[in-house]
Chain A
Amino acid sequence: MTEPNGSNERASGAYTRRQVMKGALGTGAALGLAPLLAACGGGSSSSSSGSAAGGSITIGSFQDPSMVPFHQQFLPKFTAATGIQAHYNETSYNAWYQNSKNDGLNKTGAYDIYVMDDNWVPEYAAGGIIQSLDKLGLKVNPDILEKGLDQGYWPPRSGARMKAFANDAPQLYALVIIDDVEILYYNKDYFSKTPVTWDDIYAVAKTTKPPLYGWTARGVKGNPIMQTYLPLLNAYGGHFANDDWSPGFAGPEGVGALERLFSFIPYMPPGVASFDTTEETPVMLQGHATAMTEYTGTAHQVDDPQYSKVVGKIDFAATPKQVISGPAIGTFICGISSGAKNTAGAVKFLEWFTSEKVQKEFAGVGSAAVTGTALRDPALGKKYRWLPAIADAVDNSIPKPRTPDEPQMENILGTQLNEALVEAIGQKSGYTQIAQSHLTTAANQITAYLKQQGGYF
C-alpha cells in the first residue's frame, strides 16, 4: 500500500522537470537567458573580436587549394610583420557566397575581409556589402596587372554599364590577391611546339584514340561549361554581352565557337557532359589527355607525384587564339565588409599583401601573384612554368559582364550550352543547327531576363 505514494512522488518529479524545460525553451530563451547563453557558448562572432584595439582581423574565404599558402604561410608572416592577429575561416564556395552576403547585408561583423570571386564584386559593391577602398584611403601598388585590378572597380572602368551607374566615377571596391585566369595546359609529349590556335589543338586531337583523348573539358550545366565555352567564344570574336547589353554569342562567331567545341566530341572522354573540374583534371594528370583549358589552381598539382603521373611533361600558355586569344578571368579578390570591426587593420593587410616584397614571396611558392614583376621574374618562371603564362593570360583576358545579374546570365547560357552538348553527343551530326538553336534560345532568355530586371536597355 506504500506504492501509490512512491509513484506519486515520481510523477510530480517528472512534472517539475517538464516545467523547467518549458521555461527554458520558451520565454527564458527569448528574454532573459540569451546574453548569458551567448557568453557561455564561446567562439561567437561578437566575443572573438573583443581583443585589444587594432589587434586582430578576421578573413573569410571559400575553400580552394590556391588559398592554402595564403593562410598557412602568409597570414603568420603578416602577424609577425605587423603584430596584428589574422583569423581565417573557410567553407565551401556556395556556402561562403551565402554566408558573406548575410554577414555584410546584416552588418553582423563576423568578418573584416571577404575573399570573393571577382563576379561577386558588382553585387557586393552596389549592394553596400563591402566598402569603397578609395574612401578608406587604400594605396594601390601600381605594379598590379591592370586587367586584374580592373575586376575590383564599381562601376566598371570599361565595358557595358548598368544605366543607374552610367555616370558614377569608378571606385575601387575590392583588391585582387590571386590572379586566377584560364590558361592552356598541354602535354609536351604530343606537341612539338607551343600550340597557338585552336586548329593546333584540333590537329593533335585528331590523332588520339581512347584511352588517350585530344581534349578534356567541363560540361556540367551553368558555370562549369561556361568556363569551357568562354575562351572559345572570345577567341572566335564573340562576346558574352555587347556594350549595349545585347547578347553577342548568337551570331556566327558564337555558333562557330560552339561548333568547334562539338568538333572535339570524338576526342573527348565519354561522359564529358557531366564533367566538372573534379572529373576533368584527373584525365589530364593521369596522362590521358593532350590538352585542356583550366584555371591556375590545378597548375600546382601537375608536378606533384601525389596528384600527377605526368610530372614535368605539362607546359602552359595563354588560351589558344582563333581571331584573338581571350582567356576568361576569375580572380580571387578581397573586399572589406561594411560591418568590419577593424577596417584599419584590413586596409593594412591588403596593402601589405599586395606589396612588391610579399608578392615576390607569394610567386616564390608558385602562386598566381598579382604584380607584373613577380609573375615575370625569369628565375621563378623557370621553376614554376605557369607564372609567365598567367601574366600573358591576364593581359589578354576578357572579363565577364559586370553586373549583379551575371550569375543568372551565366546560368541561362550555361544551361543551354549543356543541353546543346548532350544533344550533339547523342546525335553526332547537325551541329550547326543544334548550336544555333540553343544559343538563340539563350540569347532570347537573357534579354527577357535583363528587361525584367530593368536598368539595362
Chain B
Amino acid sequence: MAQATVKRRRVRAARAQLPGGPYLLLVPALVALALVSLYPLYYGIRASVTHYLYGRDFGSAGLENYRRVYHDPYFHQAMWTTGKYVLVVVTCETVLGLGLALLVSREIRFASPIRVGLILPMTIAPVVVGVMWRLMYDSGIGVTDPLFQAFGFKAPEVLASNTSAFIGVCIVDIWEWTPLIFLIVLAGLQSLPQEPLEAARVDGAGRVRLFFDHTLPLLAPVLLVAIVLRTIDAIGTFDQIYVLTGGGPGVSTQLISIYAYNTAFLFSQYGLAAAMLISLLAMVMLLMIAAVRLMKRVAV
C-alpha cells in the first residue's frame, strides 16, 4: 500500500519537471510549420484576388479570378481528372501496399533484401521516373508494345490515346508509390501489440476473420495516416506527368497541378492559378478535416 503511494508521488514528480511541458514540446514544431506556411498562404490568398498582367501586379481583382476559374471548362476538367486519378491510384496503392506488407511481415527468408527491393521504385527522382517510363511506353524502343504483342494483343501505344495515356500515368504512380503505403503499413504491423492477436488465434479465429476483426482495426490509425499523406501527395502529382505526357493527349491527363503550373508560369496568369489552387486547397481541407474526424472515431 505504502509503496504504491510512493510510486504515484514519483510519477507526479516526474511530470512536474515539465512546467507547461506538453505545450512547450509543441512550440518548436509549430514555429517551423508557421515559417513555411503563414506568409505563403497570405501571399497566395492575396494573389488570388489580384489582377496580374504579364507577371505584373495590377491591383485588386476582387473575386474576378474566382469567377473566371469557376466558369472555365478546363478547370472543371482538370478537377475531374485529378479526382479520378487520386481515387484510382490511392485505392490501388492501399490495397497493394497493405497486401504486400501483410506478406512480408510474416517470417520469411531474405526479408531485408526483399524489403529494400520493394521500395526501389520510390528511390528514383520522379523526373527520372517520368523519362524512363516514357521510353518504356515508346512505340519504337519501348517494352510495353512488344510485351502486349508477345501475348497476342494489339500494341497499345500507351501515351498516344486518351484512355490508355490516363491508365499509363496511373500505372506509373502506382508503381512508384505503392512502396510508400507498404512501408508505413509494415512499420505499423511491426509495432502492433501481439496479445489480442494471439488471444484471437487461440480462440480459433480463421486468418480472414483475424485480419478483418482484429488486425485491421488495430492498424486503422496508421493505415489512415498513410492514406491521408498519399492522397495529399497524389493531388499534387506533377513531375512525372509533366515529363510523361505534359497533360496530353489533348487534356486527358491534365491534372490540376499541371494546369495551374502552366497558367502561373507559362502563361503568367499568377492570379488565376492562385485562385485555382486556393479553391482546391479549401476543398481538400474540408475532405481532410472529415478524415481527421473519422480517424479520431476509429482511434477511440
Contact = CB atoms under 8 A, between A and B. Distances in A.
A and B touch in the complex (CB under 8 A): yes
Interface of A: 4, 8, 11, 18, 21-22, 25-26, 29, 94, 97-98, 101, 105, 123, 126-127, 129, 219-222, 269-274, 278-279, 282-283, 288, 404-405, 407-408, 411, 415, 418-419, 422, 425-426, 452-453
A450 B36 CA distance: 37
Nearest to B17: A11
Interface string B227-253: 000000000000000000111111100
A294 B35 CA distance: 48
Nearest to A225: B248
B267 A221 contact: no
A125 to B, nearest CB: 10
Contact of B55 (A25, A105, A282): A105
Given A269-B140, A271-B140, A282-B140, A426 B161 contact: yes
B248 to A, nearest CB: 4
A127 B55 contact: yes
Q: Which 10 A-B pairs have the closest CB atoms?
A: A271-B139, A221-B248, A274-B159, A419-B250, A271-B157, A273-B160, A22-B28, A408-B267, A274-B160, A271-B160
A407 B138 contact: no
A221 B250 contact: yes
A220 B248 contact: yes
Contacts of A422: 160-162, 249-250
Given A94-B265, A127-B56, A422-B160, A274 B245 contact: yes
Contacts of B17: 8, 11
Contacts of A98: 265
B129 to A, nearest CB: 15
Interface residues of B, number: 39
A8 B54 CA distance: 61
A25 B160 contact: no
Given A11-B17, A221-B247, A415-B251, A269 B139 contact: yes
B122 to A, nearest CB: 23
Contacts of A279: 138, 140
Interface string B9-27: 0100000010000001001
B32 interface: yes
A123 B157 contact: no
Nearest to A282: B140
B165 interface: yes
B161 A123 contact: no
Given A271-B159, A422-B161, A415 B250 contact: yes
A433 B158 CA distance: 26
Given A21-B28, A270-B160, 20 more contacts: A8-B17, A22-B28, A22-B31, A25-B31, A25-B35, A26-B31, A98-B265, A123-B54, A123-B55, A221-B250, A273-B160, A273-B161, A279-B140, A408-B266, A415-B251, A418-B250, A419-B250, A422-B162, A422-B249, A426-B161
B81 interface: no
B249 A411 contact: no
A407 B249 contact: no
B155 interface: yes
Interface in B19-62: 24, 27-28, 31-32, 35, 53-56
Contacts of B53: 453
A269 B246 CA distance: 20
6 contacts: A105-B56, A269-B140, A271-B140, A274-B160, A404-B268, A415-B251
A220 B249 CA distance: 7
A221 B246 contact: yes
Contacts of A123: 54-55, 268
B91 interface: no
User: Could you say which of A26, A274, A426 has the most chain B C-beta atoms within 10 Å of its C-beta?
Assistant: A274
B279 interface: no
B215 interface: no
A407 B118 CA distance: 42
Given A404-B54, A415-B251, A220 B246 contact: yes
B25 to A, nearest CB: 8
Contacts of A453: 53
Contacts of A101: 55, 265, 268
Nearest to A455: B53
Contacts of A22: 27-28, 31
User: Could you say which of A123, A220, A271, A404 has the most chain B C-beta atoms within 10 Å of its C-beta?
Assistant: A271
A127 B139 CA distance: 42
Contacts of A11: 17
A444 B245 CA distance: 25
A222 B248 contact: yes
A407 B161 contact: no
A419 B134 CA distance: 19
Interface in B251-300: 251, 262, 265-268
Nearest to A22: B28
Contacts of A418: 248-250
Contacts of A271: 138-140, 157, 159-160
A138 B251 CA distance: 44
